[in-house]
Structure 1
Amino acid sequence: MDLAVTVVTQVVNWPLAVLTARRAASGRAPFASWATVALLVSGAVAVWDPASTLTFSRAAVAVSNASLALLFTVYLDGRFVPRWTIVPVVIEIAVQAADVASGFALESRLWWPMHFVAIWAVLIVGGQVHRYRSRSSVDERERTRWPLLTIVLMVVAFSLWSFVALGLGAVATDRSQSWLANLLFVLPGVGFAVGLLAPRLLRVDRALRWTITWGLWSTAMSALAWAASTALLALPAAPRSWSTAAIVGATALPALWATRRMAELTVYGRRPDPGRTLEELGNRLAATVDPRTVPVDIVATVTSSLGLAGAALRGVPALSATAGASVEASEGRMEYPIRYQGERLGHLVVIPRPGESALTAHDRAVLTQICGQAAPALHSARVVRDLIDARSRLVFAREEERKRLRRDLHDDLAPTFAGLGLTAAAVETFSRLGDERAAEAAARLVVGLGAATRQLRDVAYDLRPPVLDDRGLVAAIEERLSAPGSVPVFRVDAPPERLELPAAVESAALRIVQEAVTNVRRHAAASVCVVTVAVDPGMLRLGIADDGVGIPDRLAGGIGMRSMTERAGEVGGELSAGPAPGGGTLVRASLPLTGVPLPEATALAGEAT
């Protein structure tokens, strides 16, 4: 195993040292790069003597220790952050130099192992974690995760190895296991080098989180088991074992929760675990009473779970919301599209956490998942908003229709009938007196009654054209299109027999054709327009095609198109508009015939029974 570790170390360390030296020579992070080169080279030299009995090997280990202590505090930008970390670094370098100068006599002192715990674990590693959590930029964090992962692996493995050796009554530094120590010792150099050269080679967020969680937990449980067993040496073997197991079992779950929380805070920051974030979003949406507040819930979840400075949903007004700071013209802002079944509902705009200029790869992955999970909820919110708007428009349209009917009855028919009443009174008076003007008054009465009849017919026609009930949909369409010499020329392609359709479908179809034909006359500049009416099983198909200039962009979402779409939707149908195969515009509508019983079908069913 010693030979295998030696070969692997040479194959890995020397190429990394050359690449890192080239980076240092180019002036990119030279201080940290040269320290990494020293760590890689000293590690490669040290493993040539696996047992560390020769002077060159022990000197290489001393250089590795000093380089590692330096990298703990100056990686990545060459500055000591926090500044007080320069003190333990200077102490460690001085201790290693004194050890070499004394002929490595200091290594035999009792305090020698403890000084690593005091200086490295408490001061240097603590300072590096503080730098990672509070001072590092997003890019520096991504580069630091590699060495942090390898350092945690090394510390956890050494600790577990030591506790296992103590439990077995062996010596942790048994020379027969030197290959494991050498293998673990070269890990930090590889981590620092990869962090400098290719930090995005792999996403190590999950690996680092897993290592911190389970590594620290297993180390803590092993230490607790050893301490409990040592403290209970006075007890017989069986009670001591049961007591130790009880102590470890009672603390296992709380310790696991603590290490998991520590890992999440170290790697991600404030509650950024994707599962928890999506769970929080789901809980918010499930507790939402009014679907119109869904956009607000989404941006609130994004800002609270990721700790972002601000977030906003942009799209149609019904799907817009903002939380936190303004995202307009903010540095580092990013946009994420929200799509539902291929349709873009809007986009989520976010800005990084305060003090940061960019989002991490993990943040971007979480936001992508949030957009995917939020899309169905936003679609539902939009549907609800559309239904509310449609209902509002229906109420307004109903009131406007009532207002128009009242105006027609009051302003037109009421004066007409009042005049007819006066004329009838005059006829009565003249007739009683035998006045010749009775005939003239009667003639005016006849004319007035005819005018009143036409006015009543017009009012009734506006409510529902009589031709629909008298002759059917096709005849009503032909009547509306019949205008000699009109341009364009209209042609109706429909079955010759009368179509028996539900009243609501007939009315919706006629209104759709009227609106489409009006658009053709006003905007298409067409010479021919063909209206097609066909009935499939359970469905009425309409087509209005012209050979004009095509549908203008300004009309694609205009009032006319919206009116036709709403009329089709009112009876459960669909409508689309686009270019016709040979040029011009083609409007298609599909109106279902099921769900509304036909009067004739009902009558026949009654007769049959």
Structure 2
Amino acid sequence: MTEGSAGTGGAPVPAAVMAVSAWILVVLSVVAFVRADPGIDSNQLFFLVDVVGAAVYGTVAGVVLARRVHPVPIIMGLTAIGVGVAALSYSYSQLAVVRPGLPWVDVLSPLQNTAWIPGTLSLFLIVPWLIRDHPLGVGAKLGVLAGIAATSWYFWSRTFTGIPAVWVIVPVLVVGSAAAADCGWRWRHGPPDERVGLGWMCLGTALMTAAYIPLALPASLPGLWVLNPLVHLAVQAFYPVAILVCILRQRMWGLNLAVSRATVAGTLTVLLLVLYVVVATAVTALLPEGDSVGAQVVAAGVVAVAVQPVRLWLQRRVHRLVYGEGEDPARAVRTLGRQFGSAETPEQLLEGLAAGVGVALRLESVSVRRTSGVAAVWGSATGHAESVELVHRGAALGTMVVTAPPGESLGARTRRSLTELSAVVTAGLVVLQSAENLQEARRRLASVRLEERQMIRRELHDGLGPSLAGIRLGLQGARNLLGSDPVAAAELIDALQEQLDHQVEGVRQLSRSMFPPVLDELGLVPALHELAANQSRSGFQLRVQADPPPRLGAEISAAAYGIVVEAVTNARRHSGADGCRVDATFAPEMLTVVIHDDGCGFDPAGGGGVGTRSMRERAHELGGTLHIESARPTGTVVTARLPLTAS
């Protein structure tokens, strides 16, 4: 059990005295019982009820009272001591039968029938009215008074009168039912922050009340001597858990304690094992005795085998109650896997996975976080947070942060399940990031297309358009000169013809620079050599060094060629050099293209233009990188690395 921030006003010393006293009574009772070694009957089963009650209520009362003084833990502590005294009284009187002459037998023996009454009845007749985090109203005060009256009536009438059992029990049943009904009403209609755990309290109070019904039945009914104590044993093991759940889940009275799930599961498992042994033993005792020891052993084995499936079923239910579906990670993974088929968007997928983890592991909240912020949230966190790193292919994508419900702390088993389920959440985060990357790639592609269109528009508007307009005016002038000066008209037409040829070549160069036919027909290296030849004709020397390439996809070839064209164009326009060099190297998984000029370089602080952005976009679209180095006056080096797997 761990503590977040302890409540104020606790009484550690009295709490320790109360808890230790209860356990001392348990130990003394068990030692005396073992030494007495009595036969099996209903009294011994009730003795087991008292021993379990003293141990459980004493522990719970000590934990709560150490942190807050309140009537509820005080009543629970007095109950533990009362049932402990009753258990010691019974075992001591049984020991006196086999060892006559023990002192104080006459004083202790009557307590086995009376010491347990005040505390045990107060648990379900008074405590339910006190389980709240605000002052008692009129109804609750009347309930407390009715509980005190019913407890006093039961103690007095059962101890000092011979009133029929039914009249002794009826007031207890009435007040207990009213207390259960009050818990149920507050669970359904009370303030939302005070409803947590009241369903358990309602069920526990109802079961405690119902456990007293058999006491009003005739003792001659067959099997009643076994049924009655077994019902009390099961209820007494459950009821303190219900009280503790209510207190801790609501963080009532300023308490902020957390009980490990492993502790809860282990405690319930031990109780189930004890109940299994008791039931098997009791049922065996009810069977008719055989003629031989072998027959009795066979009968006991048959009973044990018959009861075992019920115990295993209850064990699975306990684990499901404590750990949720996470107690079976494979089932939880299948449940989360269905989210991949039902979610309409990646965001809904991740939110569904977060909710699935929260429900499967019975958590208070789940949030999936990454460097850019929170990607998905389920629940509202109020307790201590624990995180699991989400890793994909060795890279950390983010973290999954979870909190346990109030009053609980995650054990090793839940953390292990959380780690296993995190793989599914990681897959959902990968889907979300892939969708975002795809959306970003589409945006960048649209931006690149827009820039290319703007470049084509600029070439047409600033180059081809004015040139054609000039040619048109020249043709009009030649037409005007045909009649008066045919020689001048012919010379003008020749000049216009030369200008037109120049523009036709410019259009061809623009087309080739975007995607030359040789790139599609022969591949990247021939296209680079053709680019070098074209540049050389215009006075710019381009030297190409390329290894014999493997078969490349059209996407990689086009991206590499586009990067080279942009880099060569920048070098020709801005470097001041008379040429540059292109090196293309092919590795098994990577194409590396390096464009290097010996010009004046550029200032990196000045940023890049459209061409630079276009080169980066081409590389990033294929999952590659682009690096530009510039240091005046050593020139500029553009290095593009493109993964071949992208093709």
What TM-score, normalized to structure 2? 0.55
Which of 376, 380, 386 is the equivalent residue of 1:334?
386
Q: How far is the alpha carbon of 1:424 from its aligned partner?
A: 0.9
Q: Is the 8 A contact 1:319 1:382 kept in 2?
A: no
* 1:127 and 2:239 aligned: yes
Which of 271, 278, 282 is the equivalent residue of 2:333?
278
Which of 30, 34, 57 is the equivalent residue of 2:20?
34
Q: Is the 8 A contact 2:89 2:110 kept in 1?
A: no
* 1:438 and 2:489 aligned: yes
Q: Secondary structure at the match of 2:259?
A: helix
**Structure 2: distance between partners of 1:68 and 1:357:** 23
Q: Is the 8 A contact 1:534 1:541 kept in 2?
A: yes
**Structure 2: distance between partners of 1:498 and 1:270:** 55
Which of 259, 272, 293 is the equivalent residue of 1:152?
272
Deviates more, 1:265-274 or 1:142-151: 265-274
Deviates more, 1:78-87 or 1:147-156: 78-87
Q: Please name the residue that 2:472 is paired with.
A: 421
Which of 65, 73, 77 is the equivalent residue of 2:57?
73
Q: Is the 8 A contact 2:590 2:641 kept in 1?
A: no
Q: Please name the residue that 2:417 is paired with.
A: 366
Q: How far is the alpha carbon of 1:306 from its aligned partner?
A: 3.6
Q: Secondary structure at the match of 1:49?
A: helix
Q: Is the 8 A contact 1:296 1:321 kept in 2?
A: yes
**Structure 1: distance between partners of 2:410 and 2:558:** 55
* 1:563 and 2:617 aligned: yes
Q: Is the 8 A contact 1:310 1:323 kept in 2?
A: yes
Q: Secondary structure at the match of 2:338?
A: helix
* 1:589 and 2:642 aligned: yes
Alpha carbons of structure 1 residues 292 and 566: separation in structure 2 relative to 1, 3 Å: farther
**Structure 2: distance between partners of 1:337 and 1:113:** 53
Alpha carbons of structure 1 residues 152 and 578: separation in structure 2 relative to 1, 3 Å: farther
Q: Is the 8 A contact 1:338 1:375 kept in 2?
A: yes
Alpha carbons of structure 1 residues 97 and 366: separation in structure 2 relative to 1, 3 Å: closer
Q: How far is the alpha carbon of 1:369 from its aligned partner?
A: 1.6
**Structure 1: distance between partners of 2:507 and 2:553:** 25
**Structure 2: distance between partners of 1:291 and 1:458:** 45
Deviations 1:584-603 (A, max 9, x none): 9975434379x8xxxxxxxx
Which of 438, 441, 444 is the equivalent residue of 1:387?
438
Q: Is the 8 A contact 1:72 1:128 kept in 2?
A: yes
Q: How far is the alpha carbon of 1:338 from its aligned partner?
A: 1.6
In structure 2, runs of 5+ residues without a counterpart are 1-11, 40-44, 66-70, 93-104, 115-218, 249-256, 291-295, 573-579, 630-636
Q: Please name the residue that 2:557 is paired with.
A: 506
Deviations 1:468-523 (A, max 9, x none): 589824426767999xxx9xx9986434x8999776543322234567899999xx
**Structure 2: distance between partners of 1:586 and 1:29:** 74
Q: How far is the alpha carbon of 1:420 from its aligned partner?
A: 0.6
RMSD (Å), alpha carbons: 5.6
Q: Please name the residue that 1:542 is paired with.
A: 592
**Structure 2: distance between partners of 1:378 and 1:364:** 20
Alpha carbons of structure 1 residues 500 and 323: separation in structure 2 relative to 1, 3 Å: closer
Q: Please name the residue that 1:344 is paired with.
A: 396
One-letter identity of the residue aligned with 1:69: G
One-letter identity of the residue aligned with 1:73: Y
Q: How far is the alpha carbon of 1:427 from its aligned partner?
A: 0.8
* 1:315 and 2:427 aligned: no
Q: Is the 8 A contact 2:387 2:399 kept in 1?
A: yes
**Structure 2: distance between partners of 1:169 and 1:441:** 133
**Structure 2: distance between partners of 1:463 and 1:313:** 44
One-letter identity of the residue aligned with 1:398: R
**Structure 1: distance between partners of 2:18 and 2:391:** 44
Q: How far is the alpha carbon of 1:220 from its aligned partner?
A: 12
Q: Is the 8 A contact 2:391 2:397 kept in 1?
A: yes
Deviations 1:538-596 (A, max 9, x none): x88435499x9xx99x99xx968863544546xxxx669899xxxx9975434379x8x
Which of 340, 343, 346 is the equivalent residue of 1:288?
343
**Structure 2: distance between partners of 1:43 and 1:266:** 33
Alpha carbons of structure 1 residues 535 and 342: separation in structure 2 relative to 1, 3 Å: closer
Which of 449, 452, 464 is the equivalent residue of 2:515?
464
Q: Please name the residue that 1:139 is paired with.
A: 259
Q: Is the 8 A contact 2:29 2:88 kept in 1?
A: no
Q: How far is the alpha carbon of 1:344 from its aligned partner?
A: 2.5
Q: Is the 8 A contact 2:625 2:641 kept in 1?
A: yes
**Structure 2: distance between partners of 1:29 and 1:141:** 24
In structure 1, runs of 5+ residues without a counterpart are 1-25, 54-60, 171-175, 181-217, 224-251, 522-528, 596-609
**Structure 1: distance between partners of 2:555 and 2:477:** 46
* 1:397 and 2:517 aligned: no
Q: How far is the alpha carbon of 1:49 from its aligned partner?
A: 3.2
Alpha carbons of structure 1 residues 393 and 463: separation in structure 2 relative to 1, 3 Å: same
**Structure 2: distance between partners of 1:545 and 1:27:** 81
Q: How far is the alpha carbon of 1:372 from its aligned partner?
A: 1.6
Mapping of residues 77-226 of structure 1, within 5 Å: 77=63, 79=65, 85=76, 88-89=79-80, 91-96=82-87, 98-99=89-90, 100=92, 101-102=105-106, 116-117=229-230, 120-122=233-235, 124-136=236-248, 137-139=257-259, 141-169=261-289, 222=307
One-letter identity of the residue aligned with 1:591: L
Q: How far is the alpha carbon of 1:417 from its aligned partner?
A: 0.9
Q: How far is the alpha carbon of 1:65 from its aligned partner?
A: 7.7
Q: Percent identity?
A: 22
Q: Is the 8 A contact 1:577 1:587 kept in 2?
A: yes
One-letter identity of the residue aligned with 1:166: L
* 1:475 and 2:529 aligned: yes
Q: How far is the alpha carbon of 1:432 from its aligned partner?
A: 1.9
Deviations 1:152-190 (A, max 9, x none): 3122211111112322438xxxxx99xx9xxxxxxxxxx
Q: Please name the residue that 1:452 is paired with.
A: 503
Q: Is the 8 A contact 1:493 1:531 kept in 2?
A: yes
**Structure 2: distance between partners of 1:447 and 1:456:** 14
Q: Secondary structure at the match of 2:35?
A: coil
Could you say which structure has the greater relative contact order, defined with CA pairs below 8 angstroms and 6 or more residues apart?
Answer: 2
**Structure 2: distance between partners of 1:393 and 1:298:** 30
Q: Is the 8 A contact 2:340 2:349 kept in 1?
A: yes
Alpha carbons of structure 1 residues 289 and 462: separation in structure 2 relative to 1, 3 Å: same
**Structure 1: distance between partners of 2:352 and 2:449:** 35
Alpha carbons of structure 1 residues 344 and 304: separation in structure 2 relative to 1, 3 Å: same
Alpha carbons of structure 1 residues 407 and 36: separation in structure 2 relative to 1, 3 Å: farther
The size of the alignment, in residue pairs, is: 457
**Structure 2: distance between partners of 1:40 and 1:518:** 93
**Structure 2: distance between partners of 1:501 and 1:145:** 61
Alpha carbons of structure 1 residues 28 and 64: separation in structure 2 relative to 1, 3 Å: farther
Q: Secondary structure at the match of 1:322?
A: strand
**Structure 2: distance between partners of 1:499 and 1:425:** 55
**Structure 2: distance between partners of 1:221 and 1:412:** 96
Alpha carbons of structure 1 residues 436 and 344: separation in structure 2 relative to 1, 3 Å: same
Q: Please name the residue that 1:525 is paired with.
A: none
Q: Is the 8 A contact 1:467 1:475 kept in 2?
A: no
